[in-house]
Structure 1
Amino acid sequence: MNRTSVWRGAFWLSIGSFVSKLIGAVYRIFLPRVLGDYGVGLFQMAYPLYAILLAVSVNGIPTALAKQTAEKLSRGDGDGAERLGSWAQVMLGVVGMLLAAAMELSAPWIARSLFGEPASTWAIRALAPALAFVALEASFRGYFQGHQDMEPTAISQILEQVARVMVMFPLAYHFLPYGIDKAAAGATLGAPIGAMMGMVFLGWQRVRSGGGWNLSGRIPLGDLWRLVMVALPMSFSGLLFPMMLMADSVFVPGRLRLTGLSLEQATARFGQLSGEAMPLINLTMVVGAALAVSLVPAVARAIVAGDHDQANQKVDSAIHMVWLLGLPMSAGLMVLARPLTQLLYGESGSAGALQVLALGSAVLAIQQVMGSSLQAAGHGWVPVKNLIFGAGVKFLLTWWLTALPAWGIRGAAMGTVGAALTTAYLNWRDWIRIVGPGTQPFKSLLWPLVGTVVMAMGLRLWLTGPVWLPSFWHVVLAVPVGVVVYAAVMLLSGEMATVSKALKER
């Protein structure tokens, strides 16, 4: 596998994202024990707004900058690539600082008017500075990805999370005597400090690699304008999902109150969904997200060359990897939801929402792969349109089901699953319409599905099995038991040999 391989890039991004999320799971696991469900709800309320502002300012920029940087390098214009990267960093730095200031100053109004929870003011203010640091991080990552170098991005993700976890717990404990809202804000301060550390590392890597800042001469306004135009549909795609989360934080607690819960209880239930169930689901999304990023240049090259069969083949291989790795992780979370949440969080209130979300986690990954492939094919607005349809489905399901006592917070989780199914199907349908038939997402599903069913049965037997083991070891050892059972089925079916061959060929 050479340095520019899709699979090498996906490997590094998968490793970085997985380790980053694994480290992030540490604070997701222990934070409820420090802040309680109400404090986690306050902590989580600030993040959807933060994600929306990031989507407006920087989402799509790394991919667009990588594309333009690679084009300039392929033409031998290394100086132009350096100038574009340098001015992009200046532009994003200014935008990030302006947004950070706006979020900081408007925090009381946002907490009171949007969230209906004035106690979230301090958490919003604590998170605001991260906007400036993350904007600069995005410009550095786009620069390195344009040079087909994914390692700095992966390492910066890990470093960011390590710094975040090291800071947030001491600050949460420090501010706890001053009130739960101050403690939630102390924990939130880990985000800007982590982002600052990631930004510093990426800047150091750029200097170390010999890439200097080139701000001489005229500002490349044409290149910057094209950068914005290419990033625009990607930014809208990235914007819609946090907007759905933002909508959840605004109206889900209110819909939950219709089931007879108090405001504090409804906020706690929202914290169980967004702060406990979603982080575990995000671990299953690592491979899909990495493949989505790495597929863009490979699919774009195949489309430009007019080789639609090759484009379909690459997308098929990516979907195969999602089925192979995503299905068993989803099933494992469904089977282990109750004992796992009890072990991690000290209670299992988020188990129902986790089981529902796990139903659609593999489909969420395929939605990402198909959306990125459409963007690579030059149809960036098509996934945006499909996400809007998916958002409509999510809103309707969430609004209806969350207010039903039989569903509660699981209704909001079902809305997310419905949105994933809708968007993934529409993306696949449009891919066939634009690129032509050839991609068959269910062609490679059979053996991963068989292995997943056998693994789930094995986990059920294990959980009801050796009663002499303490419950802690029952849950901890269930993971390697599931891995061994699933791997055995894949080896016996010849599936692992097929994947190994595909990786060597690509």
Structure 2
Amino acid sequence: MQRKSMKTVMQGALLLSVASLIAKILSAVYRVPFQNMVGNTGFYVYQQIYPIYGIGMTFALSGLPMFISKLVAENESAENKLTLISRLFIILAGFSVALFLFLQGFALPIASTMGDPSLTPIIRSVSWMFLFSPFLAISRGYFQGQYDMRPTALSQLVEQAIRVTVILVVAYWAMSQRWNVYKMGTWAMSSAPIAAIFASAVMLYAVRARHLKVTAAIKRPVLSSYGHLAKRMLIEGGTISLFASMMVLLQLVDSFTVMRGLMIQGLPSMIAKSIKGVYDRGQPLVQLGLVVATSFSSSLLPSLTETLNRGFHSQFVRQANTVVRISVAIATAASVGLIALMPEVNVLLFGNQQGNRMLSVYVLSIILATLIMIDNSILQSLNQFMVTIAGLAIGLLIKIMFNQWAVVRFGAIGASWVTVVALLGMAGFLRHQLRNENLAAFKRGFLGKLLLISLIMMGAVRVAMPIGNWLTAAWSPRMAALFDASLGILVGVLVFMLLALKLNLLTLREWLLLPKANHWLRWFKK
């Protein structure tokens, strides 16, 4: 294969990162108008089944393609690459068909375990997407392994755009035709296989344009057997995919426990569904927070593996600690800012202030999830896959063991607290493992300074709110909330940055890693 220049590789990585960022923003933002159209109960119906889609999407979009691209890059000859992906396709197709049949056959027991048998057709609707996952994962992984990110990026954007369009059109039509929420949910979830068809068409065009004869390669001998490939896919590919879908896995536990817990508490079914719909508002908020917090750090992480491979361990430690500190600082500012502005944000996005306390607790997940994602990437660059799996298992175990009990005891806010505690257990375990590698990022009173700055910022934002309320007294609730939130963001950013610079939260070298830092640092210094 012709060797690709580093410039081409970096351009491809940037293209894929931008496409991924746009797709994540689309995936978070569409839920706001969707919830506004279908209400709390309609949102509950959709979000109950969403984790099944989310896990499947993560495997087909990021987790498995990343693993497959690594295997493709390990092989030199074009023939071996094609033989490899043909065998991987057969393995993955077997898993996917089995999962499709399982979801079709056991949709009713799954829905009943969630506490709502009426969800059965929605589970069957989303299951069709798994039939397209093998081709999407294999084709994306192959092109990424060839350092050609364009097909993956385009298919990713097409998939999300089609899915979001279908969902919003269904929501509007369901509202105008007065469909019941389960019929709406079934059609909304059909957006997953429909979007997968369009994404597959994009990848099929790319395969044909490059004249790849995959079927002819199946009978060729290859170094790895089916068993060996399946084992690597399960361990390495599974690790990458599971961590990429960490928050979705926690949401899956919520789907099986929150609704049931509220009903055990004694709430009528309709009220329990509405409360679960309010609880689910936290997911797009966290998703948006994670996009902001991880977009910068993810651009620095690929250099860690390269630095380590060159034998520059001290430089690796310095870079890793820098990424952790910057990411946690940004995530904390985003999380605490959301908490301070939760009444205004809730009205702006969802039309009322239902669940303010519950959502305020839930968005603390932004800080811990960001730290976990960064630590996971660092540990994977050190090839410590089993450590990351153990950390994920700890978090899931905490969530599974205590979630329903917490909902019965404290209401839906209990599930928010258990999510935070589960992530805290996961983060604590991974941090402990990294300290053994001399990667203790939080030194010199960093966490104490960050806590102090965040509390002062929160106080300043809340002090500024009466000014906004006075200025917008005659405005509509949503327009007033928009102005108040904008004012709060401005005050919060100014206070956070001024205090962070005053207290030397980050070093000058770390500040300069941020985009356009030399320009706005001069302004703040004045």
Bigger-Rg structure (1/2)? 2
What is the match of residue 269 of structure 2? Answer: 263
What's the offset of the Cα at 1:310?
3.3
What's the offset of the Cα at 1:431?
2.5
- Equivalent pairs: percent with the same residue? 24
- Structure 2 unaligned regions, length at least 5: 1-5, 516-526
Does residue 498 of structure 1 match 2:509?
A: yes
| 3-state DSSP of counterpart to 1:465 | helix
Once the two structures are superposed, the pairs formed by residues 61-460 of structure 1 within 5 Å of their partners are 61-72=64-75, 76-89=76-89, 91-112=91-112, 114-148=113-147, 152-175=151-174, 176-205=177-206, 210=210, 212-215=212-215, 216=217, 217-218=219-220, 220=222, 222=224, 225-226=228-229, 227-228=232-233, 229-235=235-241, 237=243, 242-274=248-280, 276-286=281-291, 298-404=303-409, 407-433=410-436, 436-441=437-442, 452-453=454-455, 455-460=457-462
- For 2:341 and 2:471, the matched residues in 1 are separated by 19
Q: Deviations over 1:177-229 (max 9, x none)?
A: 34221011122222222233333334444555x47344424264717634424
What's the offset of the Cα at 1:441?
3.8
What's the offset of the Cα at 1:468?
2.0
What amino acid is aligned across from residue 160 of structure 2 in structure 1?
Answer: Q
What amino acid is aligned across from residue 465 of structure 1 in structure 2?
Answer: I
Contact 1:296 1:375 in 2 (8 A): no
- Structure 1 unaligned regions, length at least 5: none
Q: Deviations over 1:283-304 (max 9, x none)?
A: 1122566678767754444444
2:486 to 460, 467, 477: 477
Q: Deviations over 1:3-36 (max 9, x none)?
A: 555x994x65554344323323343112223322
What's the offset of the Cα at 1:486?
5.8
What amino acid is aligned across from residue 166 of structure 2 in structure 1?
Answer: V
- For 1:105 and 1:362, the matched residues in 2 are separated by 39
What's the offset of the Cα at 1:346?
1.8
Distance 1:325-1:419 versus aligned 2 partners, 3 A rule = same
Distance 1:336-1:289 versus aligned 2 partners, 3 A rule = same
What is the match of residue 47 of structure 2? Answer: 44
- For 2:153 and 2:192, the matched residues in 1 are separated by 17
- For 1:83 and 1:262, the matched residues in 2 are separated by 56
What's the offset of the Cα at 1:243?
4.3
What's the offset of the Cα at 1:459?
2.6
What's the offset of the Cα at 1:116?
2.6
Distance 1:127-1:350 versus aligned 2 partners, 3 A rule = farther
- For 1:477 and 1:503, the matched residues in 2 are separated by 23
TM-score (norm 1): 0.84
What's the offset of the Cα at 1:167?
1.0
What is the match of residue 489 of structure 1? Answer: 498
Q: Deviations over 1:444-494 (max 9, x none)?
A: 667766664554344323322132233143245236525752685389558
What amino acid is aligned across from residue 368 of structure 2 in structure 1?
Answer: V
What's the offset of the Cα at 1:279?
1.2
Distance 1:162-1:389 versus aligned 2 partners, 3 A rule = same
Q: Deviations over 1:401-451 (max 9, x none)?
A: 3223xx411110111111111111111211233xx2144145666776666
Contact 2:333 2:496 in 1 (8 A): no
- For 1:503 and 1:69, the matched residues in 2 are separated by 34
- For 1:152 and 1:479, the matched residues in 2 are separated by 41
- For 2:148 and 2:329, the matched residues in 1 are separated by 26
- For 1:355 and 1:78, the matched residues in 2 are separated by 52
Contact 1:52 1:243 in 2 (8 A): yes
- For 1:19 and 1:327, the matched residues in 2 are separated by 22
What amino acid is aligned across from residue 477 of structure 1 in structure 2?
Answer: S
Distance 1:452-1:154 versus aligned 2 partners, 3 A rule = farther
Contact 2:328 2:370 in 1 (8 A): no
CA RMSD of aligned residues (A): 3.6
Q: Deviations over 1:121-143 (max 9, x none)?
A: 22112211222234433333333
What is the match of residue 35 of structure 2? Answer: 32
What amino acid is aligned across from residue 365 of structure 1 in structure 2?
Answer: T
- For 2:17 and 2:224, the matched residues in 1 are separated by 34
Contact 1:458 1:485 in 2 (8 A): no
Deviates more, 1:29-38 or 1:325-334: 29-38
What's the offset of the Cα at 1:398?
2.5
What amino acid is aligned across from residue 111 of structure 1 in structure 2?
Answer: A
- For 1:213 and 1:123, the matched residues in 2 are separated by 37
- For 1:16 and 1:123, the matched residues in 2 are separated by 29
- For 1:483 and 1:148, the matched residues in 2 are separated by 41
What's the offset of the Cα at 1:364?
0.9
- For 2:273 and 2:257, the matched residues in 1 are separated by 11
